[in-house]
Amino acid sequence: MNMRLYFALLLSLITLHAQGQDTAVHKTSMYLQHPVYLRNTYTATIAVGFIDYYRHDYTLPAAFKKGNTSGFSPFYAKIEYGIGDRVSLAATFGYDAFVYNFSQVTPGNNGPVSRYKHNNTRILSGGLTAYYHLGSVIHVARLDPFIGIGASINNIRYSAFPQGDSTLVKLEHTVTPVLKAGARYYITDAFSVYGDVGFDKQSIFSVGFSCRFFRK
């Protein structure tokens, strides 16, 4: 009897939600008190990236031979603010640290000699990205799809950068365009799971969590 009552109550809630579902630009899904995208709100996101261009897309001088690359995945954090009905602006931060393992091949009395070396690499990134939220085009309950465009400034430090027939400490400052497409799926009005795919040179895709803060 309790199980029947439970299912009857659940069916009633689903029916009421379907009847009252809004087909406007922003839809409030079942059990959510707010639309999945709302202007004048702050959203904090942390994520981990995968498939790193920096780790895989590199070359070495002729005197060096590639080895494996070790380290952790890139880490992302961003604070996003809804500045319009469909547009938000985010301050983005990234941290990437890994080790290029390679060998330097030099001639020896009994043939070539390999000397193994390690290039500790650290990348700090910061930038701005504007997002356009696609709730008016893609109508899926609890889902906040978006596309984004922006740029990041990268501070890169190499502890043993191969150059010529030696290595040196090297610092670089670069600017990278950011092109992203992704979505948040809201578990509650405040918390959501996050994922995106695109280009920022630190990863092809990332996954994480977001927390939304409402202005009083």
Provide the 8-state DSSP code for 134.
-
- Please give the share of the chain, as a percent, with pLDDT higher than 90: 60
49: left (phi over 0), alpha (psi -120 to 50) or beta: beta
Is the Cβ–Cβ distance between 141 and 27 less than 8 Å?
yes
The contacts of residue 42 (CB under 8 Å, 6+ apart) are 79, 80, 81, 212, 213, 215
Question: Looking at the predicted structure, is the pLDDT value of residue 9 above 80?
Answer: no
The neighbouring-strand residues paired with 191 are 211
Task: Copy the structure tokens of residue 105.
Answer: 């091949």
What pLDDT, in 10s, does the model give residues 60-114?
A: 888 888 888 888 899 999 999 999 999 999 999 999 999 999 888 777 667 677 7
User: 26-214 belongs to which CATH class?
Assistant: mainly beta
10-14, 96-100, 173-177, 190-194: segment of lowest average pLDDT? 10-14
Task: Rounding to the nearest 10 degrees, give the CA dihedral for residues 173, 175, 176, 179.
Answer: 150
Residue 216 is predicted with a pLDDT of 67
Is the Cβ–Cβ distance between 65 and 46 less than 8 Å?
no
Mean pLDDT in the chain? 85
How far is the C-alpha of 53 from the C-alpha of 105, rounded, in Å? Answer: 25
- Please give the share of the chain, as a percent, with pLDDT higher than 70: 83
The amino acid that residue 16 corresponds to is: L
Q: What is the mean pLDDT of residues 6-17?
A: 45
Residue 109 is predicted with a pLDDT of 67
Residue 56 is predicted with a pLDDT of 82
Residue 68 is predicted with a pLDDT of 87
Residue 11 is predicted with a pLDDT of 45
What pLDDT, in 10s, does the model give residues 27-59?
A: 444 568 899 999 999 999 999 999 998 888 888
How far is the C-alpha of 99 from the C-alpha of 136, rounded, in Å? Answer: 44
What pLDDT, in 10s, does the model give residues 133-151?
A: 999 899 899 999 999 999 9
